[in-house]
């Protein structure tokens, strides 16, 4: 076990080094793109805790991201008690507000299982954008709110995109380490036990209600932080910033990344970004295959490509990118374990 721990710590350090080194070799805009990927990664970490470990399917995580986003927008534009907050300090508040919202959803979720929960959370995702339209004084309605552009604090000499990148990935790595520490110990075991059999877990002394609600809260906290960062990167907030389909994309990306692999989620996060913003590049790349001649500019093409990719990944790699990693490195590491 010690060796496994050492390997995991080593893997984390390699990842951190890669993250720190990356902006030195790519351009400014690519750095921005990777920052966005980092934000999706944070949201996916939260979803992995909830869906991957505690087994509760949420199709409403886009709404929790929007809660975080609105918290940041309202605090930094309208302020609280007449003080506008610096965007940086709204990040933890956004996480907490979303976390509380998650706990509130988590309590009724205790009585719903499986697909009932999926449908109710999907209902949350669909309903949430209606609230800013109804209470437009507070939320800014369909036009929304315009934030100040992101700027590096403390007089740091760096471009806004680089600052955003380091900020996002700094937070992402801390949250990754936290999730890992949480899931490898007692809480992780308890959550997995609940996922596999709630009755068996309860009879072994695990309290499913506490753990499931907590999982919802923590998961929503992650989503809130991600939403806050995303709004900072866009510098505006309205109901369209987090479209309903985002909640669906997040679950799809979780499945693509692999339900139980935290690092594999980076692949899922990249997939959301690429397919939302770079679908025509993907189409052009697919055109290199023989026979095919697709027009990347045609409407509907991104959906077709995303759909085919999702189905293909699920048919070919049912355990996602994380499962693929495990299959590739499994023989190697299992040999290491048997020696130790």
Partner 1 sequence: MVVPAFTWTEFAQQIAAGIRSGAIYAGLALALVIIYRSTRVINFAQGEMATFTTFICWSLMNHGFSFWTAFPIVLAIAFVGGVAIERVLIQPVENASVLTIVIVTLGLALLLNGLMSLIWGGANRQFHGPFSTRTIDVGGVPISVQDIGIVVVSFSLVALLGLFFRYTKLGLALRAAAVNPDSSRLVGVRVGWMLALGWGIAALLGAVAGMMVAPVVFLDPNMMQTILLYAFAAAVLGGLDSPIGAVVGGILLGLTITLLERYVGFVGSTLKLPVALLLILVLLLLRPGGLFGRVAVRRV
Per CB under 8 A, does 149 bind partner 1?
no
Per CB under 8 A, does 309 bind partner 1?
yes
CA 86 to chain centre: 24
Please tell me the distance from the alpha carbon of residue 46 to that of residue 63, in angstroms, as a whole number: 13
We find the least distance from the C-beta atom of residue 65 to partner 1, in angstroms, to be 18
Write the binding mask 90 to 129 for partner 1: x where contact by CB under 8 A, - elsewhere: ------------------x--xxxxxx-xxx-xxx-xx--
Please tell me the distance from the alpha carbon of residue 188 to that of residue 83, in angstroms, as a whole number: 40
Nearer to partner 1, 17 or 304 (CB): 304
Nearer to partner 1, 28 or 240 (CB): 240
306 in Cβ contact with 241 (< 8 Å) = no
We find the least distance from the C-beta atom of residue 321 to partner 1, in angstroms, to be 13
We find the least distance from the C-beta atom of residue 123 to partner 1, in angstroms, to be 4
Per CB under 8 A, does 251 bind partner 1?
yes
Question: Between the CA atoms of 157, 89, 235 and 16, what dihedral angle is there, to the nearest 10 degrees?
Answer: 60
Q: 3-state class of 237 per DSSP? A: strand
Only one of the segments 8-16, 23-31, 152-160, 301-309 lies at the binding site for partner 1 (rule: CB under 8 A); that segment is 301-309
**DSSP type of residue 24:** G
We find the least distance from the C-beta atom of residue 83 to partner 1, in angstroms, to be 32
We find the least distance from the C-beta atom of residue 129 to partner 1, in angstroms, to be 10
- Compute and round to an integer the Cα radius of gyration of the chain: 20
Q: Which of 152, 310, 324, 325 binds partner 1 (CB under 8 A)?
A: 310
Nearer to partner 1, 185 or 318 (CB): 318
Task: Please give the size of the binding site for partner 1, defined by CB under 8 A.
Answer: 49
Q: Which of 4, 80, 130, 174 binds partner 1 (CB under 8 A)?
A: 130
Q: Residue 236 belongs to what H/E stretch?
A: strand 236-237
Per CB under 8 A, does 300 bind partner 1?
yes
Per CB under 8 A, does 314 bind partner 1?
yes
- What Å distances lie between residue 298 and 280, 293, 309, 312, CA to CA? 9, 12, 18, 22
**DSSP type of residue 148:** P
Per CB under 8 A, does 305 bind partner 1?
yes
Nearer to partner 1, 16 or 209 (CB): 209
183 in Cβ contact with 61 (< 8 Å) = no
Please tell me the distance from the alpha carbon of residue 150 to that of residue 233, in angstroms, as a whole number: 7
**DSSP type of residue 102:** H
- What Å distances lie between residue 103 and 99, 117, 209, 254, CA to CA? 6, 14, 11, 21
Contact positions vs partner 1 (CB under 8 A) = 51, 57, 108, 111-116, 118-120, 122-124, 126-127, 130-131, 133-134, 197-200, 203, 248, 251-252, 255-256, 259, 298-311, 314-315, 318
């Amino acid at each position: 076990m010690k060796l496994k721990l050492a390997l995991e710590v080593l893997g984390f350090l390699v990842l951190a080094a890669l993250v720190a080194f990356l902006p030195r070799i790519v351009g400014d805009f690519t750095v921005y793109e990777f920052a966005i990927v980092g934000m999706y990664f944070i949201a996916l970490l939260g979803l992995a805790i909830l869906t991957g470990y505690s087994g509760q399917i949420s199709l409403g995580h886009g709404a929790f991201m929007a809660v975080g986003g609105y918290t940041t927008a309202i605090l930094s534009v309208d302020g609280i008690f007449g003080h506008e907050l610096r965007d940086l300090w709204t990040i933890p508040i956004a996480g907490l507000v979303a976390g509380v919202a998650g706990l509130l959803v988590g309590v009724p979720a205790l009585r719903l299982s499986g697909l009932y929960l999926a449908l109710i959370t999907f209902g949350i995702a669909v309903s949430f954008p209606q609230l800013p339209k109804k209470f437009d004084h507070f939320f800014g309605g369909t036009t929304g709110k315009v934030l100040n552009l992101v700027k590096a604090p403390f007089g740091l000499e760096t471009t806004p995109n680089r600052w955003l990148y380091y900020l996002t990935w700094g937070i992402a790595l801390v949250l990754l380490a936290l999730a890992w520490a949480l899931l490898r110990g007692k809480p992780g075991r308890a959550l997995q036990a609940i996922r596999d059999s709630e009755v068996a877990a309860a009879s072994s002394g695990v309290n499913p209600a506490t753990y499931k609600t907590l999982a919802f809260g923590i998961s929503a906290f992650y989503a809130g932080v991600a939403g806050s960062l995303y709004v900072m990167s866009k510098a505006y907030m309205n109901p369209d910033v987090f479209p309903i389909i985002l909640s669906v994309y997040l679950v799809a990306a979780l499945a693509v990344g692999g339900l139980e692999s935290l690092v594999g989620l980076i692949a899922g996060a990249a997939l959301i970004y690429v397919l939302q913003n770079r679908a025509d590049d993907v189409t052009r790349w697919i055109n290199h295959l023989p026979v095919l001649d697709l027009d990347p500019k045609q409407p509907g093409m991104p959906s077709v490509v995303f759909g085919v990719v999702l189905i293909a990944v699920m048919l070919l790699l049912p355990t996602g990118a994380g499962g693929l990693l495990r299959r590739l490195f499994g023989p190697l590491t299992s040999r290491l374990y048997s020696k130790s």
